[in-house]
Structure 1
Amino acid sequence: MSDQAFAVDADAGVQEDLACTLLSKHFGEFAAVDEVSFSIPRGAFFSILGPSGCGKTTLLRMLAGFQQPDSGDILIKGSSVLHTAPNKRPVNMVFQHLALFPTMSVAENIAYGLKRKGVPKREHAALIDEVLAKVQLPGYGDKRIDQLSGGQKQRVAIARCLVLNPAVLLLDEPLGALDLKLREQMKIELKRLQREFNTTFVYITHDQSEALVMSDQVAVMNKGRFEQVGTPQELYYQPKTAFVAGFVGDSNQYAGTVQAQSDQIITIVTEHGVRLLSQSRQPMPLGSPITLFIRPEVMQISTSRPEAEQDNCLQVTILRMLFDGARSQLQVETAEGAVLTVALPQTADFHALEPGRSVYVSWQAGQSLCFPVSTETQPESVQ
Structure 2
Amino acid sequence: MSWNLRSRNARTNPGFLDTAASSASVSLAANPGSTLVYEWRMRHERRRRRSPAGTTRARGDSNYGVTLALEQIPLPHGVTGAESLAFDRRGRGPYAGVSDGRVLRWDGSANGWTTFAYNANYKKNPLCTAPVRRPEDTESICGRPLGLQFYAKTGDLYIADAYLGLMKVGPDCGEAEVVAAEAGGVPFNFTNGVDVDQATGDVYFTDSSTIYPRARNTQIMIHRDAAGRLLKYDARVGRVAVLKASLHYPNGVAVSADRTHVVVAHTGPCQAFRYWIRGPKAGRYELLANLPGYADNVRRDTKGGYWFALNREKINATAPEHLVGHCSSTDFLFTPDSDAAALQKRSAIALIIYIQNK
Q: Name the one with the larger strand percent.
A: 2
**TM-score normalised over the length of structure 1:** 0.26
Q: Relative to total residues, which structure has the larger helix share, 1 or 2?
A: 1
Higher relative contact order (CA 8 A, sep 6+): 1
